[in-house]
Structure 1
Amino acid sequence: MKKIQHHVDRLFRDLPETEEVIQVKEEIILDLQEKAQDLIIQGKTEEDAINKTIVDFGDIDEIKAELQQTPVQSSHTKKKHTRLNLWFSVWGSGLFIALMWFMNIEYTPNNIWFVYPTFVILWWPLSMYYYWRRQGGGK
Structure 2
Amino acid sequence: MKIRNKTLDHKIQEYLDRQFEEIKETQHLFETKEELFMNLKERSMDLIKNGKEEEEAFQEAIVSMGNLSSLAEEMRQYGEDPVKQSIYSRSQERVSTMGIVIGVLLTIFGFCNSAMVFFMSRPLNVVVGSGFLFIMLGISLITYSVLTRETQSRFAMNKIRALLYTVAISTIIFGFFTSAFSYSSTRKVYVAIAACMVFVLIGVGMYLYLMLTEKSRLKENK
TM-score, with structure 1 as normaliser: 0.50
State the structure with more CA Rg: 1
Of the two structures, which has the highest relative contact order with CA contacts closer than 8 Å and spacing of 6 or more?
A: 1
